[in-house]
Amino acid sequence: MSEIDWKNLPFGYFKTDYNVRAYYKDGKWSDLEVRQDEYLNIHMAATCLHYGQEAFEGMKAFRGKDGKIRIFRPDENAKRLLLSANGIMMQPVPTELYIEACKKVVKLNEKFVPPYGTGASFYIRPLLIGTGAEVGVKPAKEYTFVVFGGPVGPYFKAGFKPVPMQTVKDFDRVAPLGTGLFKVGGNYAASLRASERAHEEGFSTVLFLDAKEHKYIDEAGPANFFAIKGNKYITPDSHSILRSITNMSLQQIALDLGMEVEKRPIEEAELASFDEIGACGTAAVISPISKIVDRSTGHEFVVSKDGQVGPKSTALYKQLRAIQEGEVEDIHGWNLIVD
């Protein structure tokens, strides 16, 4: 579509032609339904509105160098939605239905998939909500599964350039034994106050510490944390952070590039010892960090002294994007080609 400025797209909602839906009722899932309207008609007592029975996913599709459209690792997103659904007592979406829905929404909106080489992608948002009416605190008996999508640019305005991060100790994202590893809306709602304050104070993102001791690195609001030290890729081992598929992929790419991978608790005090630091996730891919400021003490950890992205982060980012866009062989079978 020539009227879309592909290279200057924001990361936000973009109206496309179609979305797809399925409904769980009377003990079974319906067939997929194709819709053009952007709204859901739900009961005012739906459990998603009162008791947070809601989970979602974020995925991307890319138009490759060969013109083919690839969805990146949809099977892993399907597994994570299954984990989230079980975590808050919702009816899981069968993997086959999940992948069929994602493929269909991409195919139906194929004209909105950005051209190769523009730096943009087609973001896919699967959503599962409890739509059965309940006033008592209990799981719904009915659920709605919706998948929509649209073209997006970089999540952070700076793109693949170092941005400042703020560490906070006066807000917690999740409880130690709570819902942190599930992709549910409540986790993001809990991060908003700290994130918006960080934006107002000149930071692109916020870094949360563990809620129990405020000692260990947990997660950025919308992304996982990773660091580079020498030839090691280091990322937190915690029961309260989201199982990022991007992080999982970067760990494998690090191994492919001859690096070591360490998944372990990371103390805030270690920040000064790292060569490179980044936030990673589907939306941001990799957002390199220039400096981290501890809001409670004012202590500043400078990561990028020259304002440039580190060599390891650059190599990881380029290899991941090359796989997603079909520039190199997909040796791990991560891409699903939409035909």
State the catalytic residues. Answer: 183
CA distance 286 to 158: 12
Q: What share of the chain is helix, strand, coil (3-state, %, to 5)?
A: 25, 30, 45
Whether 293 contacts 166, CB under 8 Å: yes
Closest of 215, 218, 334 to residue 279, by C-alpha? 218
Are 320 and 281 in contact, with CB atoms under 8 Å apart?
A: no
Give me the helix-helix angle, 245-256 and 311-324, nearest 10°: 110
Neighbours of 104 (CB within 10 A): 17
Contacts (Cβ under 8 Å, ≥6 apart) of 246? 224, 280, 281, 282, 285, 286, 320
- Of 164, 162, 241, residue with least CA distance to 198: 164
Encoding tokens for residue 240? 């309260």
Q: How far apart are CA 298 and CA 314, in angstroms?
A: 29
Vertex 254, ends 233 and 84: CA angle to 5°? 80
In whole angstroms, give the CA distance from residue 206 to residue 168: 7
By CB atoms closer than 10 A (0-12, 13-18, 19+), residue 3 is exposed
107 Cβ contact list (under 8 Å, min separation 6): 338
| Whole-number Å distance between alpha carbons of 166 and 180 | 20
